[in-house]
Structure 1
């Protein structure tokens, strides 16, 4: 896991960071259920009850927004404008799986910055619910892995915000600033398979030569050197992993990350065998 400097991060910053993500999730889930009918879901091959459950998730996210807003009072950030690249229930459910997983990793990574035990308890109750969302979407809906191993993957504020920022088009100028940055984008072949070499590239003229890809999975970070524009996906990875480009073969933090973040989905079956 990588971490932000704690010098400018207090409980108010952490809660506003969480509120920023909750606004995004509420906009995503409420937008999805308003865009598609139950008939649309069943026609797309998804379970007939999936739209109703997604509607419940949207109400959960709304409750999270309300709770955090009330806790912050006049210091609360406001909702931004968003755009999401789903076009049908299937692409909506696929992105829902990614966003729910990122939400879990965001709370896990930010916990280290919370000093108030009351706030930490509140965050834990949201985190556990977000994890239930993620497992339900991945398992019963998308027929994929409901977990990726014995531990979830904590991610830094910058990594999480980089993933979230691609869906944010504009925010109110009155919103309090967050001590975060967005990394240049990283692309890894979406057909990545563990143990195989796949292409890797970065935006903004960021070179991949003499660089390493750091793969985050659970509590582990694995570094693999980029060679000839390709990286070998570690055999140890299962389920959802996150990848960043870094200039170091032993560190992936705000000072060494040069691009990110790619999300990898490496399927495995109930016998713990890769598919």
Structure 2
């Protein structure tokens, strides 16, 4: 099994859960949620591309044309920020300060793949809340571009498949925020409050392979007599597996590509109401014949 930097990057940053009063999600809320992510991506590319020049990319073993394409992606993210900010006007959320876990162009490319993938799942999951059809069309346009980014970074640069299957994973607002929160350092106090919370971190400390047992680690307090489950999100499907003694879980067979895992108290379907930790990002690289690497 190929070990991927993608499966461990987010574990380097911890996030603490905090209570949030839920309120109705309207179009402005969804657009500001999207803008929060676009600000993060925009800052990510600006910071890294100022730090690493063409020589640094070449010394890291990346293709000579990679940096130029990343520059174009960064320009797209800036355009997304400007587009959403113009739509929201004086209601638009402002950028925060951030912390990104990369040390060189190669780890930057790995984080890029994570962020683009999360962005695709974020837009896919949030589309259900958009009522204005013009906003929905605009969001679909951004989603398509983010998907093109993610596919290019994964396949052309990081040598992974450009997709995980026929269907992508729609993530909820809370699970997306849980993945974004570790990168966010501090935000302006004047920013509109979003109805989201960050779940505690979920990690797989040892080897994680489909069809094999694995250990999970998370810091969430639940009564000892409440059974817990790890739900694996793949495409539009959820595969629920009980957590056994010693925090062990049997990873389902036939998982390929990017899979999100959460811990919940439900043995049927994980939702923001019953998730207690996660998501963790697992990447099971596979060949063109569908076999795992």
TM over 0.5: yes
- Within-5 A mapping of 1:8-23: 8-23=24-39
User: 2:89 aligns to what?
Assistant: 73
> Helix, strand or coil for the counterpart of 1:8?
coil
Q: Tell me the distance in 2 between the aligned counterparts of 1:58 and 1:109.
A: 23
Contact 1:186/1:259, CA 8 A, preserved across alignment: yes
**What is the aligned partner in structure 1 of residue 127 from structure 2?**
111
2:273 is matched with which residue? Answer: 255
Does the alignment pair 1:151 with 2:167? Answer: yes
Equivalent residue of 1:115, what SS? coil
Equivalences for 1:115-154 in 2 at 5 Å? 115-154=131-170
1:156–1:120 Cα change, 3 Å: same
Report the equivalent of 2:16: none
Q: Cα deviation per residue 1:140-172 (whole Å; 9 max; x = unaligned)?
A: 100011100001110000000000000001000
Moved more, 185-194 or 264-273: 185-194
Q: Alpha-carbon deviation of 1:190? A: 6.1
Counterpart Cα distance in 2 of 1:81 and 1:47: 30
- Alpha-carbon offset, residue 236 of structure 1: 2.5
- Counterpart among 260, 272, 275 of residue 290 in structure 2: 272
Number of residue pairs matched by the alignment? 271
TM-score (norm 1): 0.95
Structure 1 residues without counterparts, runs of 5 or longer: none
- SS of residue paired to 1:136: helix
Aligned residue for 1:151, secondary structure, equals coil
Is the contact between residue 206 and residue 259 of structure 1 (CA under 8 Å) also seen in structure 2? no
Which among 131, 151, 176 is matched to residue 160 of structure 1?
A: 176
Match for residue 210 of structure 2 among 170, 185, 194: 194
- Tell whether the 8 Å contact from 2:202 to 2:262 is kept in structure 1 after alignment: yes
Residue 190 of structure 1 contacts residue 264 of structure 1 at CA under 8 Å; is this kept in 2?
Answer: no
1:246 aligns with 2:293: no
Classify 1:144/1:181 alpha carbon distance in 2 versus 1 (closer, same or farther; 3 Å). Answer: same
Confirm or deny that 1:62 pairs with 2:50: no
Tell me the secondary structure at the aligned position of residue 73 of structure 1: helix
Asked if structure 2 preserves the Cα contact closer than 8 Å seen for 1:162 and 1:183, the reply is yes
Candidates 220, 229, 252, aligned match of 1:212: 229
CA 1:184–1:93 in 2, change beyond 3 Å: closer, same or farther?
Answer: same
Partner of 2:5: none
> Alignment partner for residue 178 of structure 1, among 190, 194, 198?
194
User: Separation in 1 of the partners of 2:277 and 2:145?
Assistant: 30
- Residue 54 of structure 2: aligned partner: 38
How many angstroms apart in 1 are the aligned matches of 2:39 and 2:206? Answer: 28
Q: 1:20/1:150 Cα in 2 relative to 1: closer, same or farther (>3 Å)?
A: same
Distance 2:206 2:117 in 1: 17
CA distance in 2, matches of 1:108, 1:257: 19
Q: Please report how far the alpha carbon of residue 254 of structure 1 lies from its aligned counterpart in structure 2 after TM superposition.
A: 1.7
Structure 1 residues 6 and 147: CA distance shift in structure 2, 3 A: farther
Identify which of structures 1 and 2 has the higher relative contact order when contacts are C-alpha pairs closer than 8 Å and 6+ apart. Answer: 2
Deviations 1:29-54 (A, max 9, x none): 11111111111111111111111111
Residue 95 of structure 1: how far off its partner (Å): 0.8
